[in-house]
Structure 1
Amino acid sequence: MSPVERFQTAAGVAAAVATGERSARSVLDEHLARIDEREGEIHAFNHLLADEARARADEIDARIAAGEDVGPLAGVPVALKDNLCTRGIPTTCSSKILDGWRPPYDATVVTRLRDAGAVVIGKTNLDEFAMGSSTENSAFGATRNPLDTSRVPGGSSGGSAAAVAAGFAPISLGSDTGGSIRQPAALCGVVGAKPTYGRASRYGLIAFASSLDQIGPFARTVEDAALLMEVVGGHDPLDATSIPEPFPDLRGTLGRGVEGLRIGLVEELLGGEGGFQPEVQARTREAADALEAAGAKVDVVSVPASTYGLSAYYLIAPAEASSNLARFDGVRFGLRDERATMGETYDATRTAGFGAEVKRRIMLGTYALSSGYYDAYYGKAQRVRTMIIDDFDAAYERFDVLLSPSSPCVAFPLGDKTADPLTMYLNDVCTIPSSLAGHPAMSVPFGTGAEGLPVGIQVMAPALGEEQMFRVAAALEAAAPGGAR
């Protein structure tokens, strides 16, 4: 029995619940049973919302019995990354500084999920304030990879990826700033997608780096990822960066195949330096061969400035974080360590509330923005960002989509890279360039690498190119070793 057959798909669950073939309550109880069985060893969740979910499932069943159309996610359990605001429910960003904070409003994507009939089952663990690549930086303990609990699930959205991989929920939402959906999707063997910047509302997403952050789906199938993306995507007047147009019909494109599409294999993201494992490189070339066999035109392409992506990102993102995280001062919400003066209170609160990685990035970003260093560091990084955008634009003149590994390696052991931040940062070398460009990208499982662990292939597309990106993803899924998942 395949994982999809065992755990079922979101599309399948929604269809069964909507027709009365299954009840939302029975679906929920099955997923809660799986959580009860394995959550103790995995720690995917910061907050499990079992009672609230049962009440919601019963409401869905009552509405369906009354003849209502409850939406395209009827009765589907969904897990939410714990940096998405949920009204009256703790939202912590896995940080002590927000421990116990209950937002007075829902994020737009949460509202859209509920309007679509979904059942929120819990808030998932993450690297504190989404800063990390392994979900080991959480103030509430690390998340473990369900495929091998001695290894990391990736990050920062490791809890959301692990929840789907373990069958705790058919779908989940994460956020992606420099790869925080795609990299954990690759390490956990699930599908993960980052849309074009501005295609999913950021209203209610607690900001890390505002020019980079985007919300996107995790799923066990490309179809489920497309379904979830259609539900949460689209214009939102509450987000000033939201693109003012409806989200496209992704599921309608999945069966169109790749005949005639031009696909570029990005040579700078194929290895050499950066710790790329040979098995990951091999699976990437096999994925390209599979797409060529399916009728695509495949060739190697150069995106030269992508080699500077990591350096530019670790100046731009921390600079924006140093500004965004200034609001956590012990005055308005969250932790407050009261001292004799307000300045001492600020200092004590932030010292106690932020973890080491968050402090590291705040200091790096503040330094990059400081007088005398702004032009040399932040300004130069933004110019490199423009170079990356220009090089991608040139590549997309010749190709419809681009291909690379999602991660240079498979899931690594817990604790393996925590002592060396620079080694940890290299995990995002493949995903950061498209984030800096604001382009859509997604990870699709394709075979296995070292220790039999999954390898993810990254499919990248130009801005607003989600339709061709999902077409290629569906073709990869069908051609993956072992057949469609």
Structure 2
Amino acid sequence: MTDLTSLTIAQARAELDKGSFTSVELTKAYLGAIEAANPAINAYVTVTPEKAIEMAEVADTRIASGAAGPLEGIPLGIKDLFATKGVHTQACSHILDGFKPEYESTVTANLWRDGAVMLGKLNMDEFAMGSSNETSYYGAVKNPWRQDGSDMDLVPGGSSGGSAAAVAANLCAAATATDTGGSIRQPAGLTGTVGIKPTYGRCSRWGTVAFASSLDQAGPIARDVRDAAIMLRSMASVDEKDTTSVDIAVPDYEAAIGQSVKGLKIGIPKEYRVEGMAEEVDQAWTNGIAWLRDAGAEIVDIELPHTRYALPAYYIVAPAEASSNLARYDGVRYGLRVPGKDIVDMYEKTRAAGFGREVQRRIMIGTYVLSAGYYDAYYLRAQKVRTLIKRDFENAFNAGVDAILTPATPSSAFGIGDQEMASDPVKMYMQDIFTVTVNMAGLPGISVPAGLDHKGLPLGLQLIGKPFDEETLFRAGHVIEQAAGSFTPKRWW
């Protein structure tokens, strides 16, 4: 039989049902893979082998008794943003040093209810602030992909870089992730994996460490479109503990896989042809258009005129919400505490030592734009721009467009420690240029692998859908996946 860790969720689930192997055997295979690869890739910040084996044993009992859940016995990685009872939950920040919550996030509770097995917690940009997974207190994650003929370490994207790298390197069957401005779709695009950011309100945010509350949304990163559909069905739910979660029945997303896209109207926004975009990204986009047209979809040009204001507006709204959300980390109740001569001094020293540079930068930006003299000039104006961005999408959908196709990232993965990126934060922020509009409008978006560039690195395409119409994204995403083929990194670790 093939290496157990190379099986998709759908394949592993079928083999577990047949009794080809047990969940304990599958889990041990993943734990072995993590032990061998994690020192090189740094995808996991903590591994939970005892808990994993215990959960796998319970899963095997349920499978044997015919009471298997939708994810019974499937080993998953969990982004360090999700609270996991009694297990390291630090948002990869020093300020949450040693924190182990006494509660479980709703998303992870849903996964355990459906039989999934937890392998451990995954690396990420600190407090989900970053596009390369270089801001983590636990160090950068290395992309399992490398350029042809090169041993240079590349970023996996961020903030869910550990999730994307672990899935790409077969260190978990799938992973949870979060997306505030592209943190699921951008790393998926850079690692040849599939990532979906569902509609705002589709997954509960309760028990997930907050970055920007009006933008954050949980979703899965998986090996293929079908696995992403399986994962999202389990992760999504209404939750009385999160008033932003929406009480709409969760459909069987997997049933959408393989459905025809004939008659679907796919919009192509001219505003996404931006300056500086790699030629091969443009070619991948052209290929995607052709694949969907060949499958029977109608391709139409659309306008999203306020797209160019999305990035600056996002980098006002998100830091403003972050400065408010992160005010609670003060060294008083839990996490890091650096003593001071009085309580104010202790606050200042704790936050200075506990937060990394990128988090400090965003807190200061957010505090500035919310301050008395600048609230109207910056924050209020950014919220008005956000309304216009949302209206652009509504106009396209009201005109009959079913989904919108764009690139996922402006280029393939770049090097860890890239000097151009390090010296100019705005260049790093530009990595999210194709993804932030989706969060500003609260829409669903999926990134699907679309091919390799001349360096042998993956490129992704993004599909944007109507609110709570993730099924159309899975349908159209599957067409792209089938046409593009599958891609796996050459093992170097």
Query: TM-score higher than 0.5 here?
Result: yes
Moved over 4 A (4+): 481-485
Residue 198 of structure 2 corresponds to: 195
Measure, in 2, the Cα distance between the counterparts of 1:83 and 1:481.
Answer: 32
Native 8 Å contact 1:195 1:466 kept in 2: yes
**1:441 corresponding residue in structure 2:** 445
Match of residue 30 from structure 2? 31
The residue number in structure 1 matching 2:388 is 387
Offset, 1:482: 6.0
Q: Structure 1 counterpart of 2:137, which letter?
A: A
Choose from 154, 168, 171 the match for 2:171: 168
Decide whether the 8 Å contact of 1:410 with 1:450 is kept in 2. Answer: no
Identity %: 46
How is 1:253-292 mapped onto 2 (pairs within 5 angstroms)? Answer: 253-271=256-274, 273=275, 275-292=276-293
CA contact (8 A) 1:477 1:483 kept: no
TM-score normalized by the length of structure 1: 0.97
Any idea what SS the aligned residue of 2:195 has?
A: strand
2-side partners of 1:43 and 1:329: how far apart? 28
The answer as to whether partners of 2:125 and 2:160 remain within 8 angstroms in 1 is yes
CA distance, structure 1, for counterparts of residue 215 and residue 5 of structure 2: 36
Distance 1:62 1:466 in 2: 33
Render the CA deviation track for 1:260-288: whole Å, top value 9, x for unaligned.
000011211123x2x21000110011111
- Cα-Cα RMSD: 1.7
Aligned position for 2:363:
362
Tell me the equivalent position of 1:45.
Answer: 44
Q: Structure 2: give runs of 5+ residues left out of the alignment.
A: 147-151
Please name the residue that 1:400 is paired with.
Answer: 402
SS at match of 2:332: coil
Helix, strand or coil at the partner of 2:102: coil
Q: Give 1:68 shift.
A: 4.3
Separation in structure 2 between the aligned mates of residue 290 and residue 37 of structure 1, nearest angstrom = 39
Q: Helix, strand or coil: the match of 1:455?
A: strand
Deviation at 1:397, TM superposition (A): 2.0
Deviates more, 1:260-269 or 1:50-59: 50-59
Name the residue aligned to 2:484. 480
TM-score (norm 2): 0.95
Displacement, 1:395?
A: 1.2
Q: Contact 1:11/1:73 (CA < 8 Å) preserved in 2?
A: no
Aligned partner of 2:372 in structure 1 is 371
State the 1:70 CA deviation.
Answer: 2.9
After TM superposition, give the deviation of residue 299 of structure 1 in Å.
2.1
Q: Which runs of 5+ in 1 are unaligned?
A: none
1:214-253 to 2 correspondence within 5 Å?
214-253=217-256
Distance in 2 (CA, whole Å) between partners of 1:2 and 1:386 is 50
Return 321-330 or 294-303, whichever deviates more.
Answer: 294-303
- Sort the Cα spacing of 1:89 and 1:207 in 2 relative to 1 into closer, same or farther, 3 A: same
- Equivalence for 1:123: 121
Match of 2:469 in 1: 465
Mean Cα displacement is larger for which, 215-224 or 18-27? Answer: 18-27
Structure 2 residue identity aligned to 1:262: K
**Does the 8 Å contact 2:5/2:172 carry over to 1?**
no
Q: Deviations over 1:324-365 (max 9, x none)?
A: 000000011100112121111100100000000000000000
Task: Flag the 1:434–1:119 CA change in 2: closer, same or farther, 3 A.
Answer: same
Q: Which amino acid aligns with 1:480?
A: A
Cα distance per residue 1:442-466 (max 9 Å; x no partner): 1000111241100000000011111
Question: What amino acid does structure 1 have at the position aligned with 2:34?
Answer: I
Contact 1:270 1:405 in 2 (8 A): no
Name the CA distance, whole Å, in 2 between partners of 1:158 and 1:257: 33
